[in-house]
Amino acid sequence: MTQRLSREELPRLYAAIAQVADLFLPVKRAGKTNFALWNTQTEVDLDTLKTAKSPKDLFFPQCEPLYTCDWREGNLTVTAQALAERDFVVFGVRGCDLRGLDVLDRVFLSDPVDSFYAARREHGTVIAFACREPEESCFCRTFGVDCAEPGGDVTVWLTDGTLYWRANTPKGQALTDRLDLLGKTDDADEQRLAAEQTAAREIIDRLPYANLFLDGWNGDATEARFASPLWEKLYRPCLACGACTFACPTCQCYDIRDYDTGNGVQRFRCWDSCMYSDFTMMAHGNNRTSQMQRFRQRFMHKLVYFPANNDGMYSCVGCGRCVEQCPSGLNIVKVIKAFEKEAKK
Amino acid sequence: MSGCNCSGRDVLIPQVGVITDIRTETPDVKSFRVCAPGGGKLFEHMPGQCAMLCVPGVSEGMFSITSSPTVQDYQEFSIKRCGMLTDHLHSLSVGDQITVRGPYGNHFPVESELRGKDLLFVAGGIGLAPLRSVIGYVSDHRADYGTVDILYGSRSKEDLVKYDEITGVWSKADGVNVHLTIDRAEDGWDGHVGFVPAYLKELGFSSDKTALLCGPPIMIRFSLETLMEMGFSKKQVYTTLELRMKCGVGKCGRCNIGSKYVCKDGPVFRCDEIDALPDEY
Amino acid sequence: MQELIERAKALLADGTVSRVLGWRATDTPFGPEPAFFESGEELNEFVYNCFCGANLSKYLIESSALEGKTLAFLKPCDTYSFNQLCKEHRIDRGKTYIIGVGCKGKITVERLHELGIKGILDVEDAGDTLTVKTLYGEKSCPYSDAMLERCHACKGKEHRVADEVIGESADTTDTDRFAKVTELEQMTSKERYAFFQAELSKCIRCNACRNVCPVCNCRKCVFDGNAFDSVQKANATEFEEKMFHIIRAFHVAGRCTDCGECSRVCPQGIPLHLLNRKLIKDMDAFYGEYQAGEDTSTVSPLTAYTEHDIEPEAGKGGNE
């Protein structure tokens, strides 16, 4: 059942949700919009299509403690970090980023389950936000995402004056039941909503990267793609920074390190990047010594290795953040297009 | 197995292990016995599996479990000094505590493909570590396997790991033949001199054996070539791979070769499986 | 642009150079990428337009190790970085052939986004204005509104080094380069702290600023490794992020040409150049005006000692 709320009442909606759980949503700070905890002072920004960082760090934080090791009277004790216990709501997750969570689920919820991630997934309710005005860097349709019907525990659509709200899961319904400011919709609302969706999908049709050529990218393509001479040409401008991996909603590589706490250490995990030169460095060598190899690894992982291990699912969701953020103008679209050109020669 | 979360703690959270014995095997290899603080093994494992050892504040790394699963009260790790973590491990004493998590990875198919087979172990240097667990297991289940040949080589006599066990126990066991070699002749050594692949050729084993191969990459490469010349197929040869690891459970993303994670899908691979992987190891 | 391509082809053909460093057109109309070209045929993909903001100097470090000369196209401001790298012996001038290219300021699609122009399909450079074709109709804006920050504080239209120059340049300065620094200096320390806190807390430690910076060219960076807790990837505490950027700013002090690449590439839009400019402004005040990379011989005030050097205490103070 779809419900509605006047756009002016959004602050009341945020306050009502915040009564129930911690609310995270796109907030503009120092000129950039990222997901952050809501309070009455925050500058909520629903106009920016894509947050600079994806919302993945609400479930897989850039840095999180795992456990502490303490020396007490000569004995070592290991104390695991407590798992997330507070319920939270993430409002405003785009369809692509929601798919990104599906990809992360494949990694962290597969055997053996990552309990830190699992606890956050369990306590988090995701309110997906349909796109109204997709942008040039978007290519979610290539990966089968419908940005006008993104799913999630709850889906919301925002038109000029109205927010439409629909619970999709028991978790979403439970949240909805605790909010009393949502109103009923009528036929006119349904028609307006359908028209909005049609309009958004029509824009998607006209996006330059809406339908990228994925032929030849699949779990069986390792041999054919790995040895391609194209990688040598493609990687050259790469600066070996981690901007693409940290912006990406599906990149999940991590490092485990520690901080000295005085009488022991705190072991924490933090995002890592396959683009970094020390990523695979061992005491006796490194199996990926060139930036070409590291660059190739990233795209092979997204388009070949991940599908090989996950029933054909790609670990790219077409959010286009790499298109916007790579300092050297590199991105997965270029890689896909280069191989397309080669295939159609 | 590794998915067991019955202890209620995440697989990334280690246990405390106590070092109960340290033996100097060679100038740069020491063997460490590790137990739970209250005594006994930290976990059960299978031959070929690994565990993450960590000196808090220094580093954490993946090591082969050298002891056989049939050993009841400890796990043993033979560790070569070659970096920051291993330097530190070598400075530890009996009674010191470290953290341990595991076991990780697959294992040699001691209960399936290897059963009933004549086995040929080919090891170089510290490469004996993962194989020693299998040799111990096979020795304790002698009736389940055919003949056992152990070809082991190192740079010099003093670099042979577990020399006493090899000459004292294994050589004397029923149906077990030990062939030792060192790279260069030295005083007090009347055994074979030469590289492992050459000695392998010289010995000329029958190609109906199953070979387990472990050692430095160059030794593996030439030994494998020799085995092929001797008529072995790659399906009859097992080896182990080693890459940088952080999580041990196929999630941190760094030890992959193509779509396979060495920590989870390895470290044991049959050589025909390795052929199917991209050349990045 | 055709003139640049023809000249590059000729220099490749007559063996003067072995490769060409420039920009390659890609499928994104506003996303040319830095590229090496090794044949006339490859040069057909060469492009030079208003989106070619990337400073190519740093790529010449790697090509200095290659056989033969590299032809590089440098904009006036890029030549400062080039000189600085020659001075530091990171680039072998003898293995380069520099063509100075005309520049009238570079723009970025990010600025257009900030102006509220979305769904950009194509951008037409009509001199003083940009006509932007978008999914939501045609938009336009003054060229200078879409310019990179650094172009508003242009170093002028002169190439500081070049074997030849092709094309006209313009000085696009329209603001005081130190205006924002002065504004920050006039804040109370609390306000200033809040400003940097808000900006630097966005840092994701991707290292793009470091990796793009021409003078951040240590073979092994102190932040890559286990030597101390503030390793490259952790943004665990507020302190971490500031420490990374402040250490970096100090490390490039006296060598930073103020090329602005750090701010251009930051995916979180942090105005990192302000840290560098503050140091430049102070050095100018303490030791007299100095522009790193203006030539390859002048010694940086931080590496030259003179009897009249300012005493350390003089630098202390500020508001509160």
Residue B274 located in a structural domain: no
Answer whether C106's CB lies under 8 Å from C172's CB.
no
Is residue C191's pLDDT more than 90? yes
Model confidence pLDDT, tens digit, residues B219-241? 988 999 999 999 999 999 999 98
Is residue C320's pLDDT more than 60? no
Parallel/antiparallel/unpaired status of strands A124-129 and A154-158 = parallel
Q: Per-residue DSSP letters for B1-39?
A: -TT--TTSS-TTSPEEEEEEEEEEEETTEEEEEEE-TTS
How far does C309 lie from chain A, in Å, by closest CA? 38
Give the per-residue pLDDT at C31: 77
* Omega cis (within 30) before A307: no
Please indicate, yes or no, whether residues B26 and B68 belong to a single structural domain of this protein: yes
- DSSP lists the bridge partners of residue A69 as A78, A265
Q: Hunting for tokens 């002016």 — which residue is that?
A: A8
Please indicate, yes or no, whether residues B71 and B131 belong to a single structural domain of this protein: no
Q: Hunting for tokens 């220099």 — which residue is that?
A: C11
Contact A264 B56 (CB under 8 A): yes
- DSSP lists the bridge partners of residue A195 as none
Question: Residue ranges per domain, chain A?
Answer: 2-65+83-205, 222-343
Contact A66 B11 (CB under 8 A): no
Residue B279 located in a structural domain: no
Chain C 201-220, residues with CB within 8 Å of chain A CB atoms: 201-202, 204-208, 210-212
Contact C211 A53 (CB under 8 A): no
Interface probe, candidates B11, B85, B256, B281, chain A, greatest A C-beta count within 10 A: B256
> Positive or negative, the Cα torsion across A214, A216, A220, A221?
negative
Give yes or no for B252 touching A (CB within 8 A): yes
Q: Residue length, chain A?
A: 345
Residue B47 located in a structural domain: yes
Answer whether A306's CB lies under 8 Å from A315's CB.
yes
Average of per-residue pLDDT across A92-120: 96
Please indicate, yes or no, whether residues B198 and B222 belong to a single structural domain of this protein: yes
Residue B258 located in a structural domain: no
Q: Per-residue DSSP letters for A252-293?
A: --EEEEEEE-SSEEEEEEEE--TTSTTTTEETTEES--SHHH
Between residues C168 and B245, which one has the greater pLDDT?
C168
Answer whether A323's CB lies under 8 Å from A49's CB.
no
pTM of this structure: 0.92
A241: nearest CB among C27, C28, C206: C206
Average of per-residue pLDDT across B53-72: 92
Tokens matching residue C176: 């005081």
Which residues in chain A are closer than 8 Å to B243, comparing Cβ atoms? 280, 282, 287
Give the per-residue pLDDT at A261: 80
Question: How far is the CA of B43 from the CAs of A224, B13, B39, B60, B100, in angstroms?
Answer: 42, 14, 12, 18, 10
The 3-class secondary structure across chain C, one letter per residue, is CHHHHHHHHHHHHCCCCCEEEEEECCCCCCCCEEEEECCCCHHHHECCCCCCCCCCCCHHHHHCCCCCCEEEEECHHHHHHHHHHHHCCCCCHHHEEEEEECCCCCECHHHHHHCCCCCEEEEEEECCEEEEEECCEEEEEEHHHHECHHHHCCCCCCCCCCCEEECCCCCCCCCCCCHHHHHHHHCCHHHHHHHHHHHHCCCCCCCHHHHHCCCCCCCCCCCCCCCCCCCCCCCCCHHHHHHHHHHHHHHHCCCCCCCCHHHHHCCCCCCCHHHHHHHHHHHHHHHCCCCCCCCCCCCCCCCCCCCCCCCHHHHCCCCC
Which residues in chain A are closer than 8 Å to C226, comparing Cβ atoms? 257
Question: How far is the CA of A162 from the CAs of A168, A192, B38, in angstroms?
Answer: 19, 10, 64
Interface probe, candidates A282, A293, A300, chain B, greatest B C-beta count within 10 A: A282
Answer whether C207's CB lies under 8 Å from C232's CB.
yes
Give yes or no for C229 touching A (CB within 8 A): yes
Give the per-residue pLDDT at C55: 95
Give the per-residue pLDDT at C239: 64
Range B250-264 burial, b when 16+ CB lie within 10 A, else e: bbbbbbbbbbbbbbb
> DSSP label at B153?
E
> DSSP label at A112?
S
Nearest Cα residue to B45 out of B84, B20, B76: B76
Percent above pLDDT 70 for chain A: 99
Tokens matching residue B50: 């690994």
The CA radius of gyration of chain B, in Å to the nearest whole number, is: 18
Contact B253 A274 (CB under 8 A): yes
Contact A226 B244 (CB under 8 A): no
Is residue B2's pLDDT more than 50? no
How far does A215 lie from chain B, in Å, by closest CA? 19
- List all chains that touch chain A, counting a touch as 3 or more CB pairs closer than 8 Å: B, C
C208: nearest CB among A62, A243, A278: A243
Contact B82 A287 (CB under 8 A): no
- Which residue in C has a C-alpha nearest to residue A270's C-alpha? C234
Chain B 175-204, residues with CB within 8 Å of chain A CB atoms: none
Cβ neighbours, 10 Å, residue C9: 19
Nearest Cα residue to A200 out of A150, A270, A125: A150
Ranges A213-217, A278-282, B12-16, C63-67: which has the least confidence: A278-282
Q: What is the C-alpha separation between A234 and A213, in angstroms, rounded?
A: 17
Give the per-residue pLDDT at B163: 77
Nearest Cα residue to C110 out of C275, C259, C273, C267: C267
Q: Hunting for tokens 């400073």 — which residue is that?
A: C55
Please indicate, yes or no, whether residues B148 and B235 belong to a single structural domain of this protein: yes
Give yes or no for B244 touching A (CB within 8 A): yes
Contact B278 A226 (CB under 8 A): yes
Give yes or no for C193 touching A (CB within 8 A): no
Which residues in chain C are closer than 8 Å to A237, comparing Cβ atoms? 33-35
- List all chains that touch chain B, counting a touch as 3 or more CB pairs closer than 8 Å: A
- Which residue in A has a C-alpha nearest to residue B260's C-alpha? A305
First-to-last CA distance in chain B?
Answer: 26
Chain mean position to CA B70: 15
Nearest Cα residue to A233 out of C30, C65, C40, C34: C34
| H-run or E-run covering A344 | none
Task: Read off φ and ψ for residue C99, nearest 5 degrees.
Answer: -105, 120
Chain C 252-281, residues with CB within 8 Å of chain A CB atoms: 264-265, 267-270
Contact A256 B57 (CB under 8 A): no
Per-residue pLDDT band at B8 (split at 50, 70, 90): low
- Which residue in A has a C-alpha nearest to residue B276's C-alpha? A223
Is residue C227's pLDDT more than 70? no
| Strand locations in chain A (E) | 2-6, 22-29, 32-37, 63-72, 75-80, 88-93, 124-129, 154-158, 162-167, 183-184, 254-260, 264-271, 281-282, 285-286
First-to-last CA distance in chain A?
Answer: 51
Q: Which residues are within 8 A (CB) of B17 and not within 5 positions of it... i.e. 6 or more apart?
A: B34, B35, B36, B37, B42, B53, B97, B98, B99, B100
Angle between helices C189-200 and C238-252 (to 10 degrees): 100
Per-residue pLDDT band at C242 (split at 50, 70, 90): confident
Nearest Cα residue to A323 out of A135, A92, A104: A135
Give the per-residue pLDDT at B13: 95
> DSSP label at A221?
-
Give the per-residue pLDDT at A72: 85
Chain B 16-35, residues with CB within 8 Å of chain A CB atoms: 16
Contact A52 C224 (CB under 8 A): no
Q: What is the C-alpha separation between A197 and A194, in angstroms, rounded?
A: 5
- DSSP lists the bridge partners of residue A90 as A24, A126
**How many structural domains is chain B composed of?**
2
Cβ neighbours, 10 Å, residue A243: 28
Q: Hunting for tokens 């492992």 — which residue is that?
A: B196
Q: Which residues are within 8 A (CB) of B45 and not within 5 positions of it... i.e. 6 or more apart?
A: B51, B65, B69, B75, B102, B103, B107
Per-residue pLDDT band at B74 (split at 50, 70, 90): very high
Task: Read off φ and ψ for residue A115, nearest 5 degrees.
Answer: -70, -25
Residue B62 located in a structural domain: yes
Contact C120 A236 (CB under 8 A): no
Give the per-residue pLDDT at C315: 60
Which residues in chain A are closer than 8 Å to B3, comparing Cβ atoms? 111-113
Average pLDDT, chain A: 93
Model confidence pLDDT, tens digit, residues B116-132? 999 999 999 888 888 99
Per-residue pLDDT band at A286 (split at 50, 70, 90): confident
C211: nearest CB among A241, A259, A323: A241
Per-residue pLDDT band at C235 (split at 50, 70, 90): low
Interface probe, candidates B219, B252, B263, B281, chain A, greatest A C-beta count within 10 A: B252
Cβ neighbours, 10 Å, residue B122: 30
Which residues in chain B are closer than 8 Å to A80, comparing Cβ atoms? 9-10, 13
Give the per-residue pLDDT at B4: 42
Tokens matching residue B17: 């292990």
Question: Residue ranges per domain, chain C?
Answer: 1-106+155-175, 107-146, 176-313
Give the per-residue pLDDT at B246: 86
Which residues in chain B are closer than 8 Å to A260, comparing Cβ atoms? 57
Model confidence pLDDT, tens digit, residues A115-172? 999 999 999 999 999 999 999 999 999 999 999 999 999 999 999 999 999 999 999 9
Cβ neighbours, 10 Å, residue B185: 12
Give the per-residue pLDDT at B6: 41
Tell me the residue range of the domain where B90 lies: 15-104
Please indicate, yes or no, whether residues B128 and B227 belong to a single structural domain of this protein: yes
Chain mean position to CA C63: 19
How far does B246 lie from chain A, in Å, by closest CA? 6
Give the per-residue pLDDT at A263: 82
Nearest Cα residue to A103 out of A328, A310, A331, A329: A310
Q: What is the C-alpha separation between C269 and C254, in angstroms, rounded?
A: 24
Is residue B151's pLDDT more than 50? yes
Is residue B59's pLDDT more than 80? yes
Per-residue pLDDT band at B3 (split at 50, 70, 90): very low
Chain C 58-87, residues with CB within 8 Å of chain A CB atoms: none
Which residues in chain C are closer than 8 Å to A286, comparing Cβ atoms? none
Contact B13 A252 (CB under 8 A): no
Contact A107 B251 (CB under 8 A): yes
Q: Residue length, chain C?
A: 320
Chain mean position to CA C62: 18
- Which residue in C has a C-alpha nearest to residue A328's C-alpha? C33
Q: What is the C-alpha separation between C288 and C302, in angstroms, rounded?
A: 12
Contact A236 C119 (CB under 8 A): no
Give the per-residue pLDDT at C314: 67
Q: What is the C-alpha separation between A26 and A32, in angstroms, rounded?
A: 10
Per-residue pLDDT band at C231 (split at 50, 70, 90): low
| Strand locations in chain B (E) | 15-26, 29-35, 50-55, 59-64, 75-80, 97-104, 119-124, 148-154, 176-182, 192-193, 210-214, 237-240, 256-257, 260-261, 268-270
Tell me, what CATH number does B44's domain have? 2.40.30.10
Residue B171, amino acid: S
Chain C 287-316, residues with CB within 8 Å of chain A CB atoms: none
Interface probe, candidates A147, A241, A276, A277, chain C, greatest C C-beta count within 10 A: A241
